[in-house]
Each structure stands twice: as C-alpha cells, then as structure tokens.
Structure 1
Amino acid sequence: MGHRLAARRDALAPVQRDRVALALVVFAVLFGQVLLYPGVTDLVAALGAHAGSATGALDASAWFLGAEFVGFVLCAGLWGHLSDRTGRRTPFVVAGALGGALGYLVLVLLGRGGALAYEWLLLARFVQGAFTIGAFSLSMTMLMDLEGGHGKNMGAAGIAIGSGTALGAPVGGQLYEMGVFVPLLVAGGALGGAALLATRVADRAPSGTTTGLGDALARLRETPALSFPYAFGFMDRLTAGFFALVGTVYFRETFGLDAGSAGLVLGLFFAPFALLQYPMGVLSDRVGRKLPVAVGSLCYGAVVVAVYLAPTLALAAVAMVCLGVAGAFVSPATMALVTDLANADDRGVAMGGFNVFGNLGFLGGFAVGSAVVEAAGYGAAFLTAGLLEAGVVALALPAFLRLDLPGSPTNPK
C-alpha cells in the first residue's frame, strides 16, 4: 500500500510542478498587462498622444489598450490552431512570451520623447499583443492538458490571473511614481522570465493530431453549448475592460487620486478575485458549473452599479471588494466549462475561441465605456456596464440551466 502511494506521489509530482510553472507564466502575462492600467492616461500622453481633455485622454487610452486586444482577438485562435496542428505547445508559449517581452521594450525605445507618430506605436502595441496572447492562451491550454480536475487546473489559471491583476494594479501605480515608462520595462522583464520558465514545462499536447482549423471549427459548431461560456466570458471581460479604463479614470477624477492610489483601489477588486479563484474552481468541480456562473454573474452586474452609487471612497472600496468576490465565482467555473465541453484534440482552438470572445469583451469595455462617458457621463456608463452583464446572463439563464453538462473528472455524472 505504501509503495503504491509513493509511486502515485512520484507520478503526480511532475504534474504539480508543471501546474505551478504554467500558472506563473499566466501570472506574468497578466501582471505585465495590468501594470500599465493605473496611469495609462499619463503613459499615452508621454507616448505622444494628443489628449487635452478628459474625454480625449479616454479616447487615446482606449486606442492604446484596444490595439493590444485587437492582437489578442485576431491571433488567439491562430496560436491554438498551430499548437493543435503540430501537437506541440511549449515552443509556442516560449515564442509568444519572448515576442511580448520585446514588444514592451520596443514601445519604450520608440516612445521616448514622443518622436514617433502615435499610430506607429499603436502598431507596435498590436504586434506585442499578437505575441503575448500566444503565451497566455496556450499556457491555459497546457493547464487543460494536465491530469486532475478541470476545476482544479482552471482554478490554478484563475488564481494566476487574479494574482497577476491584483499585484499588477497597485505595483503599477507605484512604478508610475518612479517614471512613466518604468511599468513597460517591468512588464517586458516579467514576460522574459515567463519565457525562460516555460522552457522547463513538459509538452502533454495530444500527439499526431492532423485536424485542420476548418475541421476543428466545424466540430465546435457541432457543440453549440460552448456559446454559453463564450458569452459569459465576453460579458465578464467587458466589465473588466470597463474598469481597467473608465473605472481608473473615474476614481482619479472623482476622488482626486494619483496613479498609485488608483492602483490600490483597483487592487481591492483583484485581491479577493485572486484569493478565491482556486477554492471556487474546486467548488465548481463538486457542485457543478451552473450555480457559480449564474449567481456570480447576476451579483457582478449589480455591484458594478453599486461602485458608482457609492458616495465616498471608502464605500466605493467596499463595493470593489464585493465585485472581486462575485467575479471569483464566475471565472474558474466558466473556464472549466470550456474544458468540459471541448474534445481533447480541440482544446487549443476551444480555449482560443474563449479568449477571442473574452478579448472582444475587453475591447467592448474600452469602446462602450469611453463612448458612453463622452455622450452621457460616468453614471450612464456604469449603468450600461452593469445592465449588460446582468441582462445577458438573465436572458441566457433559462437555456443554460437546462443544459445537460458532462461531469467533471472529479465529479462524474
């Protein structure tokens, strides 16, 4: 008996080590990304964007943040296809992380002094995003390839995402106090470290797959249930994008915060979001995906509005904590739902599709948020974001609750 337990521990040790390594890669990507958010209006001004007014600053920042997410949207599925087609993941994760690191450094080199036209910097930002999504999406796909419950593996991804964003916001705010380009340098260093770390992770991709992108997408069309996690992921990322841009500027203008303080306020959302990811992923393995997704999404939409209605900074901070708790219910369960529904040899494309919809949500958050602020003010923008989140979930909820889901590996039907 003791020999069997020891053998099982020895077999699981590489899996646990790789789970930690992949989670750290995901962490590095999100940490570097969110470092830029607290002082993004200062950054785009230093890069040469002409944004004299508050709405002008929002527009220039939306273009800067949006350019990266356009790269995410256009290339997430491509990375997944290349990975599934070749039966390899690790080389693409390394290449994506290295390309993203170089992209951040190029922005620093080209942006100093505002000598280069802002449009060229947006192109560099797009290329940086196109590489970065390879490291992010395929690291999550590699977590899907690991043994153990899908909720556990996606919980590891979720806690990496939450921790990266939780630390990225306050640390980024403090880095802006040291210099407007310092967050870019640190982000590049984080992705460089992620590339080095990824070289030590074993490839567990299904070998010998010859599925073309058209065949894979055809099989995804045969699984219409994937539309549920894609839709929920879209809306959750929309509100995240909204807070990354509009929320940051709102806190700075309304409560007179500098970049460092704004980063701390954003961290009040991301800290509980991070700490609860793993236990909520395990919970979804035990109780199923439906309850966490339904309850968390509806509460999330309501709390978005509550953040704006809070009359003081202290109450707004409490609302941000509640927002993080609600988000933690949704994120790992939604990602695990993609894993439950996808075939083993389609996981790269399935997760790529999830990230495409999620990144479209981020783009929507930037675009819708800044447009509504310009047209009708912050109150209408917060109300729009909250109603979109809760409304889409409420409309989809009856069909989602009737969905016949496969059991997770740790809780089979």
Structure 2
Amino acid sequence: MPHDPVLGLRQNAAQFALLVAVNALVGGMVGQQQTVLPLLAESEFGLTGYTYIFTYIAAFGITKAAANYFAGTFSDRYGRKPVLLVGWLFAVPVPVMLIMAPSWEWVVLANVLLGINQGLTWSTTVVMKIDLVGPANRGLAMGLNEAAGYGAVAVSSLLAGYLAEQHGLRPAPFLLGLAYIAIALMLSGFFVRETRGHAHLEAQDHVRRSDGMHDHLHGELTNRQIAVQTSLKEPALSSASLAGLVNNLNFGLSWGLFPLLFATAGLTISQIGLLFALYPGVWGAGQLVTGALSDRVGRKHLITAGMGTQAVALALIAASSGFAGWAVGAVLLGAGTAMVYPTLLAVIGDVAHPVWRGRAVGVYRVWRDLGYAFGAIIGGVAADLMGLHAAVWVAAVVSAATAVAVSVRMYETHQPV
C-alpha cells in the first residue's frame, strides 16, 4: 500500500538519503570523463583547435538544458519516478560509446545522450527532495543534494585520472560509468518512491508571504507564463536564472580548458586530475554548510558573495602558471560555487508555487545548463584567439558583472523563522 505523504526531512529521511545516493551516481557519470576527454582529444584523435575540442561540452550543455525543461514538465504531469527511470536508460550506451569511439563525433554523440541523462535525472532528484522536505529546510535539502552530486564529480574525476595514468585513457576510466548505471537503475527501479503527492500536500497548506510578494504567482500558470516569469519578468527567478547560467559557464569553460591549461606546466595526468577535483570537491563539501546557512541568513547575499568569489578565483587561475596558484584558485572557485549553487535552487523553491514547481525548476535549469554550452563556445573561441589564460580572464569579468547585476535586481526570497 502507498504511504500517506508527510512533509519534513526527518520524516522522510530514508527516501531522502536514497535520493542523495542516486544523485551521487548522476554526478559520477560526469566525473568519469572530465579529466580524460580533453587529453583524449589531443593524444588519440589529434585535435588541436580548442573550439572544436569543446564541441562535446556544448553538445552536453544544450541537450541537458532541453532535457531539464522536459523533466520539469513531465514530472508535474506524469510523476517524478518515471522521469528518473527514463533518464537512467539514456545513460546505458554512454560508457560503451566512449570506450569504442573511433572518431570524435562518437564522443560528441555520447555527450548528447549524457546530457539527456543528466537533465532528466538531476532535475528530478532536485524536485523530489524539495517535495519531501517542505518549505522549512529547502536550503539544507539542496545543499545535501548538490554536495552529493558534485562530490561524486570530484571523486570520479580523481579516480578516472588515476585509472588513466595506471591503465591508459581507455577503457579503464569509463568502466566506472557502467557500474554507476547498474546501481542507479536498481535503486531507482526498486526502492525510490513517487513524491508528487508531497507537492500536492504542500499546495493545500501553502501560505502566502506576509509582504505580498509572489501573490501574482499563486495558483496554476501555463507553461509559457512559467517560462516568461522564470526567465525574464519575476526579479528573483530571472536573477537566479542569470546567475545559474554564468555559474555553469564557468564550469563548462573549466571542464574543457583547465586540463589543457594545467598540462602546459608539464603536470602528470594524476596531478591534473587532483587539480580538477579540487574545484568540484570543495564545491560539493561546501554545500553541506551553505545550503543550511541560506535557511538561516537568507539567499541573496550568499549568491552575490559567491559570484564575486568566483570572479576572484578565476582571476587568480588566469594569473598563475603553476600547481600552487592553480590549486588555491580551484579551492576558491569551489567555495564561491558552493555559496551559489544550492541557494539558487532554494530561491526557485521559495518563489514557485508547489503546483508548478517542477516546471519552474526545469526552466531555471534550462538557463543554468545552457551555461555549459556558452562556456564551451566562449572558452574555445577566446582560447583560439587569445590563448588559454585569456579565456579564463573573460570568465572572471563575466562573473564579476553578474555579481553586480544580482545585487541590484534580486530581492530576498526567504524569511527565516
């Protein structure tokens, strides 16, 4: 018999922990390839143009962005669990394609499928956790979710770098992905329960803000209205979408560019893997603190400070030419991202009504994950025209400008009790 829904982190601890584990496996699918693919492009496929090398990141970002939208729409319409399962089915061919790829086009196609997998599964686990915990602990819930996902990115990047150095760039690093998929399908199919009933329960008891904010967003909205509010009109939602896009622009640029930049100093593959893992590692661990902190102090100042910290970190990385400077920059970049990432998702949960929350999360994540594509394109073009260091300077300037824009336009969305 199905369980009657009850809101709260403690009341849903078992299901919440299970979804944290599933999201760690989602992150691991990205981490298995981040250290390896830029090196594979140069050593096995003989690619030299940065713009062309980064096509796989652009393909990943565009398809993930589109999948986010459909994840939100379908999870509101059909339920969360079916979307989660379908997302994992799209991952099944990815490690095999990367192992067997005879040309770079295979790598790009594998990342199209990976983007669909990431959009459907990550968006759905986000929505499910928001469903379970209710309004009081959204920041904490998102911190735990994103910590698991990006902590797994870091660990898998480190493991993939070690496996590549010990056993070669293929196939060993991608065997991690095959294991992740098998475990995730088992957990999602047999143990994860549907959470849409929790959202309906919250909608019944939903309390309007005392200051009148969000009154125009109560009740059912069309998909077009939700997209317009989240993208352009509603100040907090649209500011979150902008900050999310730039945040992932930095991640997309770093994904393709950092391994190549670090290789210019003659570092080993394992050293490059360690440097790259520092960024998502600090990002993942930091969210255990920043998500809960936003529940106590509010969202806006954490977001503006985080974008500013990212700008400083990128400037340090751009100005450095060795392991020490890059390591400090990577740690700072992870810290700045940790301030922003769970807090932006909590903003969406604060403002979006429970009946259309899944779609709002989907639209926000469309913009956020288009940042991968923008980062790959801008980073590739800037690196080809001006060099690797200059491309990082460009990202630093964009991050600083975003911090200013958010500080001016976003209002505080959370009223701590």
In structure 2, distance between residues paired with 1:274 and 1:131: 20
- Percent identity between the two aligned chains: 23
| SS of corresponding position for 1:201 | coil
Say which SS state the counterpart of residue 405 (structure 1) adopts. Answer: coil
Q: Deviations over 1:215-258 (max 9, x none)?
A: 643664764431011111111111111111111110012x2123
1:97 matched to which residue of 2?
Answer: 88
Paired position in structure 2 for 1:356: 366
Distance 1:307 1:34 in 2: 21
Q: 2:284 aligns with which of 268, 274, 277?
A: 274
Q: Aligned equivalents of 1:335 and 1:12: distance in 2?
A: 17
Q: Does the 8 Å CA contact 1:99/1:132 hold for their aligned counterparts?
A: no
Partner in structure 1 of residue 59 of structure 2: 67
Alignment partners' CA distance in 1, 2:34 and 2:8: 41
- Is 1:241 the counterpart of 2:252? The answer is yes
Instruction: Give the aligned partner of residue 39 of structure 1.
Output: 36
Question: Are 1:369 and 2:376 matched, yes or no?
Answer: no
Structure 1 counterpart of 2:120 = 134
CA spacing shift, 1:192–1:45, aligned 2, 3 Å: farther
2:413 to 380, 392, 405: 405
User: CA contact under 8 A between 2:303 and 2:340: conserved in structure 1?
Assistant: yes
Structure 2: gaps of 5 or more residues: 1-5, 204-219
Asked if 1 retains the 8 angstrom alpha-carbon contact of 2:66 and 2:119, the reply is no
**Aligned partners of 2:159 and 2:39: how far apart in 1?**
16
Check 1:102–1:192 CA distance in 2 against 1; reply closer, same or farther (3 A cut). farther
> Matched residues in 1 for 2:310 and 2:378: separation?
18
* TM-score (norm. length: structure 1): 0.86
Evaluate the alpha carbon distance shift between residue 45 and residue 317 of structure 1 in structure 2; reply closer, same or farther with a 3 A threshold: closer
Quote the Cα distance in structure 1 between the aligned partners of 2:285 and 2:138. Answer: 18
1:282 deviates by 0.7
Structure 1 pair 121/37, CA: closer, same or farther in 2 (3 Å)? closer
Gap change, CA 1:296 and 1:214, over 3 Å in 2:
closer
CA contact (8 A) 1:95 1:195 kept: no
User: 1:384 maps to what in 2?
Assistant: 394
Q: Does 1:283 pair with 2:293?
A: yes
Matched, 1:185 2:185: no
Residue in 2 that maps onto 1:4: none
Q: CA deviation at 1:262?
A: 0.6
Pairwise CA RMSD: 2.6
Report the CA distance shift for 1:272/1:120 in structure 2 as closer, same or farther (over 3 A).
closer
Separation in 1 of the partners of 2:235 and 2:20? Answer: 29
Name whichever of 188-197 and 350-359 sits farther off: 188-197
TM-score normalised to structure 2 length: 0.85
Structure 1 residue 69: deviation in Å?
1.8
Match of 2:146 in 1: 158
How many residue pairs are counted as aligned between the two chains? Answer: 387
Quick one: which amino acid aligns to residue 244 of structure 1?
W
Aligned match for 1:197, one of 146, 163, 187: 187
- 1:262 aligned to 2:272? yes
| 2:12 alignment partner, SS class | helix
Contact 1:19–1:156, Cα closer than 8 Å, also in 2:
no
Q: Is the Cα–Cα contact under 8 Å of residues 18 and 201 in structure 1 kept in the other structure? A: yes
Task: Give the equivalent residue in structure 2 for 1:125.
Answer: 111
Could you tell me how far 1:71 is from its partner in structure 2?
1.3
SS at match of 2:92: helix
Change (3 A) 1:323 1:355: same
